[in-house]
Amino acid sequence: MLFEQVSVGDEIPAYTKVVKREDVKAYADASGDQNPLHQDDSFARSVGFPGIIAHGMFTMAHLTSALTRWLGDPAALKSIGVQFRAVVFMDETIEAGGRITEIDPNTKRAKLDVWVRVDRAGVSEYPIKNSRAEVELA
C-alpha cells in the first residue's frame, strides 16, 4: 500500500471467512495448541460453552491476513496487538476490519484500530476489539 493512497479515517477492505471445524483442527495441529476446548465438544460443554470454540490465535491470524492482503507485503506489518473479547463458534462468519487512526509522513508509518466482528442473531459481537496495528507504507 502506497503512502499517497491512504488517509486517516480510511478503512481496509472487510475480509470474511466461515470458521469450519476442520480448519480449527488444522490450526491445532499447525500451531501445536491441542487444548481440548478447541476440539472436544463434550469438554467445551463441561466448561460452559455450547460447543468447541476457535483458538484466539486462529482469529488473530485471519485479522493479520486481512492486513497483509491490504498492504500487499507481509513485511510491511510492523506490529499487531489484540484483545480477545468474545469467543468464536463453529460455522460462524468472522469479519476482520481496520481503520487508519494516524499517519506519520516522516516514517511513512500508519497506525490502525483493528477488529474482528461476528454477527450473532442480528447483534454484532467483537471477538477482537480495542486492538492496534502499525504498518509501513511504501
- Supply the minimum distance, in Å, between the C-beta of residue 122 and other proteins: 26
User: 32 vs 105, which CB is nearer to other proteins?
Assistant: 32
52-63 burial, b for 16+ CB within 10 Å, e for fewer? Answer: bbbbbebbbebb
Rounded least distance, CB 82 to other proteins, Å: 6
Q: Of the two residues 7 and 28, which places its CB atom closer to other proteins in the complex?
A: 28
Site of interaction with other proteins (CB under 8 A): 17, 23, 26-27, 29-33, 47, 55-58, 60-62, 64-65, 68-69, 73-75, 77-84
CB of 112 to other proteins, least distance (A): 14
Using a 10 angstrom Cβ sphere, with 0-12 exposed, 13-18 middle and 19 or more buried, the burial of residue 105 is exposed
Closest contact distance (angstroms) between CB of 24 and other proteins is 9
Residue number with CB closer to other proteins (57 or 103): 57
Q: Specify the DSSP element, H or E, that contains 95.
A: strand 93-104
Using alpha carbons, list the distances in angstroms from residue 116 to 17, 106, 135. 11, 30, 18
Rounded distance between C-alpha atoms, residue 66 and residue 79, angstroms: 14
Q: Which H or E run includes 35?
A: none
Compare residues 76 and 100 and give the one whose CB is closer to other proteins: 76
